[in-house]
Amino acid sequence: MAGLLDGKVAIITGAGGGLGEAYAKLFAREGASVVVNDLGGSRDGSGNGTSAAAQKVVDEIIAEGGKAVANGDDVSTMAGGENILKTALDAFGQVDILVCNAGILRDKSFANTSEQDWDLVVKVHLKGTYCCVLPVWKWMKDNGKGGSMVLTSSTSGLYGNFGQTNYGAAKAGIYGMVRVLAIEGRKYNIRVMCLAPGAYTRMTADLPGRIGKDPDPLSLPENIAPGVLYMVSDLAADHSGKVLGVSSRGVREIKMLQTEGFQPGRPYTAQEVAENASKVFFADATERTAASA
């Protein structure tokens, strides 16, 4: 039986464990040759990196009969992003899929967030996405093959979450990248989607409410991966620019909406805006529904 990704080459960043590992293994089972990137650092981005985690995943894929190579470059540098692409081209001669998954956490309330906490989280998530997307984008564009990309945002950036100003800002920026790249990519057959995953991983296991509790089986990485496989496959060919939330609650689109609005058609006062608040704002019930989607 043919796989959904037969003959394709996929790059997955941060794939030495958790969600990225689950994506890599599923993509390989579906016929893709996979570049498993992982720097091997700790959750907060500290420590000396090593490609051992990436190589372990590669070894397991090969043992199952799949094709994969390891890469230990830092996604947050242009040299790293370019070398990740080079790894794919040297090993497999092309790239068809990019999943930007690498990330770190340095959660603190805003008043306690240091400049270093801010800079490093934004560098890994937002700049790291840029550094990996740009060389792959140029290669897809110049070689006329097109391709698909999934960039990882978060409900922390789309809805907000206490203690994650740095992370939320970076993840909201990635959403903005997706919206623009989807427009620019039409000309080159490059499709870009945005992922907001919810999963039980090393990154989230000790978050409030999860400590000491068994994870919901549907929140494990291997049960998030099928939604991402859908996103990178030709099954989602008509959905560039869209955001999918993929979690134990299923797969659902997340959209930015606007209200009817107050349209005076003439110079107006702040008081008139207040008097037309029912047109300017969504009702509270609608806001609650959106935030819980």
251: left (phi over 0), alpha (psi -120 to 50) or beta: beta
For the question of residue 167 being annotated catalytic, the response is yes
Catalytic residue (choose from 23, 130, 167, 200): 167
Distance CA 38, CA 150 (A): 17
Cβ of 1: how many Cβ atoms within 10 Å?
2
Coarse DSSP helix, strand, coil percentages of the chain, rounded to the nearest 5 percent: 45, 15, 40
Question: Where are any strands of DSSP class E within 83-209?
Answer: 97-100, 147-152, 190-197
Residues 6+ apart with CB under 8 A from 249: 198
Q: Quickly list DSSP for 15-65.
A: -SSHHHHHHHHHHHHTT-EEEEE-----TTS-S---THHHHHHHHHHHHTT
Structure tokens at 252: 């659902």
Measured from the Cβ of residue 187, the count of other Cβ atoms closer than 10 Å reads 9
CA 177 to chain centre: 11
Q: Give the residue numbers marked as catalytic.
A: 167
